[in-house]
Structure 1
Amino acid sequence: MKKLNSKHFMAFAGVVILLVFFSSCKTEVKTEKEGQYPIEPVPFTSVHVTDQFWAPKIKINHNVTIPIAIEQSEISGRVKNFEIAAGDAKGEFCSEYPFDDSDIYKIIEAASYSLQTMPDSALQKKLDELIEKIRKAQEEDGYIYTNLTIAEKNGTNPHPWVGDGRWNKVHELSHELYNLGHMFEAAVAHYQATGQRNFLDIAIKAADMLDRTFGWGKLEDYPGHQVVEMGLVKLYRATNEKRYLDLAKFFLDVRGPGGSEYNQAHEKVVDQTRAVGHAVRATYMYSGMADIAALYNDESYLHASRAIWQDMVYGKTYVTGGIGASGGNEGFDEPYNLPNMAAYCETCASIGDVFWNYRLFLSDGEAKYMDVLERTLYNALISGVSLTGDRFFYPNVLESIGQHSRSKWFGCACCPPNIARLLPSLPGYVYAKTNDAIYINLYMSNTAQIKLGDEDVTISQETQYPWNGLVKMTINPENKARFALKLRIPGWARNEAIPGDLYTFMDGVNPEVTLNVNGKDMKVKPEHGYVTIDRKWTKGDVVSLNMPMEPREVKADENIKADADKMAIQRGPLMYAAEWPDVEDGKVLNLIFDKDKELTVEHNDHLLNGVYTINIPARIARATKDGGLEYSEEKIVKLIPYYAWNNRGPGEMAVWLPYNEKSVRPLPAPSIASKSKLSASRPTKSLIAINDQLMPKDANDHTWPYYHWWPENNAWEWVQYDFDSEETVNKVKVYWFDDGPFGGCRIPAEWKVMYKSGKNWVPVKTLGQYTITKDSWDSVNIEPVKTTALRMMVKLPERFSTGIHEWVIE
């Protein structure tokens, strides 16, 4: 299962919080905070984005994605759960997962941010209605978790993950604290965006209940899925109620040792040095650790955060910025184990990675964190939503044979509302400040109003980034004022593909970045990734920064076996991919590319909402029947930005491009199976796996696609080949997919082969026994038959399902 968590660093922002005095029964909202980050964000409310890359995405998010999220929450019963818990409707818990309340909170957070950019009275009214339903569902003492409340009202059992009552399985799968963390984040976002306190008071009531329940000498337990820590910190920063900050630290301090790596409870958090386990849980926890490190000035927390970050970035991050290689734990694998087609790279993990890196920047002021953030943002994160805003990826692979496509929604719907709240919060990541300096971290056309000490400073950016590296910044202080302007020079413009050496540029070129102020050239000597311009600023001062955006070839560390003898193409912050519509016969994975030829760039205004593409020479590699290779003539292949793939339908795609025979995957010589038409008792896109001639190394190999019948069990299922013409068959063999002991598939209970005779299916006559083995081929010789179709019948085990890697016919 998965959860998500987005937090828009607006909460960090000191966002124009109103100083209002309420009655003594309410927590007072204040403007001054006891704890601060060394660097403070400039809130999203102060930055108006006008560019042609992000502004349209934010608009589509408002007009399409958020309404879809609301609609799906109503269709799935997530909204009705609150009505039933409040006593305004009758029935059982409606939706699939007991933690589904969290999606409503994330949607409110997304809409709150979006209302700041695009006022919408209808959306505001909808939020008020949702918040009122939440208020009525909240129990008298502040507890709110509709699955348990409904069960208690009906006298029925809650979901098995919940246990017998409150907090019984809090560090397992109930996710009661996970839900509340999202509520706290949403309530603060709503208060900051609207000035209304209706949701904030609900959150305060729930937080006070938590504070009475958990803590040293009380219930000493931790959440199974982190996020409550970040939510409590946001609530503290909005109210200055230090109990909430202390409780956030408690939930971290009480974690480990002796728990599971899966949810990062194997060690005390301050003793951890490796990125492990479920990637979304991990990045949410690491974000909370960064909060505590800064607000308590706790060096042990910061030391652990830096060590974990280095472990992740130096060995466990994809070239797209995605994290979490393994689908089995939806998280981190061992260093350098970064498969491409089996990459998980959950969208929510990318969002969590953005949260964490920004917090580390606020603590250390080093551009390397923003470099990772930018790489993730422009690639692995926004690939999670279609250009139309209505289709979503859960995993974000780096290679496909066509089995992947975005979905309208998910049962565990963490990713869509998570990305819906990240996009409108993006303006809050552009700038940051200290008392005497302004950091410019991201480049996009915008106008920002920044309070710097006693001075009001307006900064306007004009740029076509990420398509062009020229940025013009106009500085307008209200009065002449001296302060430092710190411009991030991205790693890609400093000849650094990523912090560390996991990926490096192949050409050895050092880009020449130029900078001038009011037309006067300045030396570009970055420190910690920033060029500092310290001067007295006057209205109308203009800073021009130009970062060359030549396409660059990237190679991976030699320890990443999946990328050996391959290259990835990067231009500016964007990674590129070869995709099926742009190549002959839609075949991408069998191309060999020329790494020595010049790459050319082309603007395509009508392609994929307007993109710059890269042209690269390539040839098709084919296997011959005698085991050799042959190549087509060289042709130009058009590469597209990775984030835009799969917007023209499913098909082959690759980020890592082979450039020699050792890494190319030639088109296989035709076989009976490869030329056959496929069908199955339960057809899915992955059915193409059974005759793709990509052979597994073991039953649980996720390198290549596989077909499965999960979650079906204890039943007969089938797969079928239909031939173009009559074929003579004398042998069949099959390699089973089995992801035991943790997955849901096992080798079958039995299997048999049928052939088509006229309109009837007839069992083949075998010349031996049907064997059933794991991690090897099961083959059976048969009396030769002439037929136009072959069907394999598979009996699924009593308690498990079954899958197939490959089915070969001879």
Structure 2
Amino acid sequence: MKHSAYRAFEPVSFSQVTIEDAFWGPRLQINREKTIPHIYHMCQQTGRLDAYRLDWKPGDEHIPHQFWDSDVAKWIEAASYSLVSMPDPALDALLDEVIALIASAQQADGYLNPHYTVVEPDKRWANLRHGHELYCAGHLIEAAVAHFQATGKSTLLTVACRYADYIATIFGQEPGMKRGYCGHEEIELALVKLYRVTHNTRYLQLSQYFIDERGQTPCYFDTEPAPDYHALGLEYHQAHQPVREQTEVVGHAVRAMYLYSAMVDLFCETGDETLLQACKRLWHHLCSKRMFLTGGIGSSMLNEGFSSDYDLPNDTAYAETCAAIGLVLWCHRMLQVECDAQYTDIMERALYNGVLSSVSQDGTTFFYVNPLATQADLARQRWFDCACCPTNITRLLASFGHYIYSQNEHELVVHLYVQGTVRAKIQGQPVVLRQETAYPWDGRVNLTVELEGPVEFALRLRIPGWSSGAMLMVNGERVDLNGLSEHGYAKIERVWSNADRLTLFFPLPLVRMYASPEIAADIGLVALQRGPLVYCLESIDNAVPLHRLVLPRTSAVQIVDESDSGLDGVVTGIADALAVGSTDWEEATLYRPQPPGMQPAALKAIPYYLWGNRGVTTMRVWLHEQSI
């Protein structure tokens, strides 16, 4: 893997990370044992795999769709990552079989897309705005890189390189080439990955072309014969301005996150500060005006994306799973440039809430959207016609270890608190760091350094932005965190010896969260959060309809370790509340001049990521609060 010249840190590969965590461990195991096989089965059942046989004819079932390729590619990526931590000869062989099938569909010139090969062979590159050809190519490239890194096999990597080489002959500014780019960003970041593995600068240059060309005038999309059938304008594709001039997150949320991720990647390789500064502006706008408490993004179903500042409705929140995953990808890239906890805090918020809520506890059903309130009208599904979210969540979980640590020659950074070990080399010396923790249920984290001999380096430990009163001890002695803090990380620089031990402690009360007064949907409401976990209410736990519950500001919220109700090991919250009464209200009376009475009620809250696992239910994150 090529080192990136302009980022301060490199992620520690998940191949160097062992996860033995009571929270994440079972989820990763379910992802491997249930979700990855389930997605393969659905790709079989729906014709996504057979599409590569190129034998479809008009009138046949399962018409190969223009973005089916991406689902298969993301399955390959997830399965490849899985092989690193959980070797499986049968899965390895299955991957070889699927890759051989994909390779057989590649055309003589390198082109590879079943839909445009057999369904619309005369439409190749004719609809870049909505056609998803380059998007699918990007996911194929990402899958190829993952498979090569996991197995050392180059079959799919060779296919991806042939395809990328062909694409490089089609797109560019030279005479006779297309001045276009994809309506759905993805290939930009994939090409940087391919460059880092192959060291072929052609791929980096092609990524740079796609990023630089987006938003230029005249817009290439306006020259295409295919109509803009979404009629959502150029902002939908982030093509309304050159990327360096953009100041607001707009349009389709997933596309935006992939574009911004690619912009950071390109900065890391070229040092183009204008790209980084644009990302910082966009980051600030997103986090200060257009993000849900859960780390979900994209409020509107109309464009699967952003609407206007502070438009953050709860029951109609779109918050697509892929968008939250894209936010994690962007956060993680920004972290490597600047080790700043503002990025990690949002990455953690999205991971524990906006992402994890999307997959069921058994790993076989999924949410596409993740609202913050429902009226028992939403349930996870086994599959979707547009199956981007199930395939995206499985590849993220399979590579979860990638997001925990970073390093450079002189420092090792802990971003997330997850029990297990990391093996790194600092100044050429092997360093093992072992985490022991029950986070996020418990705020204590024990870290042990294992070395062959003394090594001088800095260890950076994130102090989460949600924490208050954090404490740190090194070899039993308390140290002043204020004196060690750099951008939300405690930096402990010293000569470390074998068995040196650190203990971090974060108090974990269940606290009340309030929204900006500019968010009309949340005026007079309160939410609950404990550590990184946002909480919600489900009707299954509460006898009173959720819309009638009121939490007095003076009411203490108690935490409870659960051992029943399908919530074993989970910390829930209970409180004395009030219910807007209905006993004194006649059913036939719709309005009256007298207010309803208030009655005592009990309230129970569970972590948001768990909602919807015990049947179809009413749910809400934001609750009415009585301030007096």
TM-score (ref. length: structure 2): 0.93
* Residue 116 (structure 2) aligns with: 148
Change (3 A) 1:189 1:90: farther
CA distance in 2, matches of 1:177, 1:389: 30
CA distance in 1, matches of 2:87, 2:155: 19
Change (3 A) 1:93 1:186: farther
How many matched pairs? 601
Q: Please state which structure has a larger fraction of its residues in strand.
A: 1
* Residue 85 (structure 2) aligns with: 117
How many angstroms does 1:638 deviate by? 1.4
* Residue 127 (structure 2) aligns with: 169
How many angstroms does 1:632 deviate by? 4.9
Report the secondary structure of 2:123's partner residue: coil
Report the secondary structure of 1:629's partner residue: coil
CA distance in 1, matches of 2:567, 2:41: 27
How many angstroms does 1:660 deviate by? 3.3
* Residue 344 (structure 1) aligns with: 318
* Residue 397 (structure 1) aligns with: 371
Partners of 1:93 and 1:147 within 8 A in 2: no
Partners of 2:36 and 2:78 within 8 A in 1: yes
Output the amino acid matched with 2:90. Answer: A
* Residue 99 (structure 2) aligns with: 131
Report the secondary structure of 2:159's partner residue: helix
CA distance in 1, matches of 2:534, 2:604: 13
- Superposed CA deviations along residues 683-733 of structure 1, whole A, max 9, x for unmatched, are xxxxxxxxxxxxxxxxxxxxxxxxxxxxxxxxxxxxxxxxxxxxxxxxxxx
Partners of 1:594 and 1:616 within 8 A in 2: no
* Residue 670 (structure 1) aligns with: none
Partners of 2:4 and 2:268 within 8 A in 1: no
Greater mean alpha carbon deviation, residues 536-545 or residues 192-201: 192-201
Change (3 A) 1:414 1:308: same
* Residue 191 (structure 1) aligns with: 148
1:740-779 alignment, distance < 5 Å: none
Report the secondary structure of 1:568's partner residue: strand
2:479 aligned residue (496, 502, 522): 522
1:435 aligned residue (383, 394, 409): 409
Output the amino acid matched with 1:404. Answer: L
Partners of 2:430 and 2:451 within 8 A in 1: yes
1:319-330 alignment, distance < 5 Å: 319-330=293-304
Q: Residue 257 in 1 paired to residue 216 in 2?
A: yes
* Residue 272 (structure 2) aligns with: 298
CA distance in 2, matches of 1:294, 1:93: 45
Report the secondary structure of 2:127's partner residue: coil
* Residue 485 (structure 1) aligns with: 459
1:552 aligned residue (511, 524, 527): 511
1:75 aligned residue (45, 68, 74): 45
1:362-761 alignment, distance < 5 Å: 362-493=336-467, 511-525=468-482, 526-584=485-543, 587-606=545-564, 607-622=566-581, 624=585, 625=589, 626-660=592-626
Report the secondary structure of 2:111's partner residue: coil
How many angstroms does 1:622 deviate by? 3.5
How many angstroms does 1:627 deviate by? 4.4
Output the amino acid matched with 1:596. Answer: T
Change (3 A) 1:33 1:534: closer
Q: Residue 54 in 1 paired to residue 24 in 2?
A: yes
* Residue 15 (structure 2) aligns with: 45
* Residue 224 (structure 2) aligns with: none
CA distance in 2, matches of 1:165, 1:468: 56
CA distance in 2, matches of 1:33, 1:475: 25
CA distance in 1, matches of 2:559, 2:250: 39
- Superposed CA deviations along residues 425-480 of structure 1, whole A, max 9, x for unmatched, are 11111100121011100001011111223111000000000101100000112321
CA distance in 1, matches of 2:323, 2:363: 19
Partners of 1:612 and 1:640 within 8 A in 2: yes
CA distance in 1, matches of 2:610, 2:433: 31
CA distance in 2, matches of 1:638, 1:371: 26
- Superposed CA deviations along residues 27-85 of structure 1, whole A, max 9, x for unmatched, are xxxxx546452211100100010011111000101111111111111111101100126
Output the amino acid matched with 1:617. Answer: D
How many angstroms does 1:90 deviate by? 10
Partners of 1:34 and 1:240 within 8 A in 2: no
Q: Please state which structure has a larger fraction of its residues in helix.
A: 2
Q: Residue 216 in 1 paired to residue 173 in 2?
A: yes
Partners of 1:603 and 1:612 within 8 A in 2: yes
Partners of 1:589 and 1:653 within 8 A in 2: no
Report the secondary structure of 1:491's partner residue: coil
Output the amino acid matched with 2:548. Answer: N
What stretches of structure 1 of length at least 5 have no aligned partner?
1-13, 15-31, 152-156, 159-163, 494-510, 663-810
How many angstroms does 1:635 deviate by? 2.5
Output the amino acid matched with 1:591. Answer: L
- Superposed CA deviations along residues 287-346 of structure 1, whole A, max 9, x for unmatched, are 001111121100100010000110100000000110001111100111111000000000
CA distance in 1, matches of 2:503, 2:417: 12
2:329 aligned residue (330, 355, 363): 355
1:181 aligned residue (109, 115, 138): 138
Partners of 1:445 and 1:463 within 8 A in 2: yes
Report the secondary structure of 1:634's partner residue: strand
CA distance in 2, matches of 1:34, 1:371: 24
* Residue 223 (structure 2) aligns with: none
Change (3 A) 1:482 1:262: same
CA distance in 1, matches of 2:48, 2:503: 50
Higher-RCO chain (CA-CA 8 Å, sequence separation at least 6):
2
Structure 1 vs Structure 2 CA RMSD:
1.7
CA distance in 1, matches of 2:64, 2:313: 31
- Superposed CA deviations along residues 376-432 of structure 1, whole A, max 9, x for unmatched, are 100011100011111100010000111111111100000001000000111111100
Q: Considering only CA atoms, is the larger Rg found in Structure 1 or Structure 2?
A: 1
CA distance in 2, matches of 1:33, 1:540: 30
How many angstroms does 1:117 deviate by? 1.5
* Residue 222 (structure 2) aligns with: none
Report the secondary structure of 1:396's partner residue: coil
* Residue 191 (structure 2) aligns with: 232
How many angstroms does 1:609 deviate by? 4.7
Partners of 1:81 and 1:93 within 8 A in 2: no
Partners of 1:93 and 1:150 within 8 A in 2: no
CA distance in 1, matches of 2:4, 2:277: 22
- Superposed CA deviations along residues 122-160 of structure 1, whole A, max 9, x for unmatched, are 211111111000000001111001011113xxxxx46xx
Output the amino acid matched with 2:246. Answer: Q
CA distance in 2, matches of 1:90, 1:536: 70
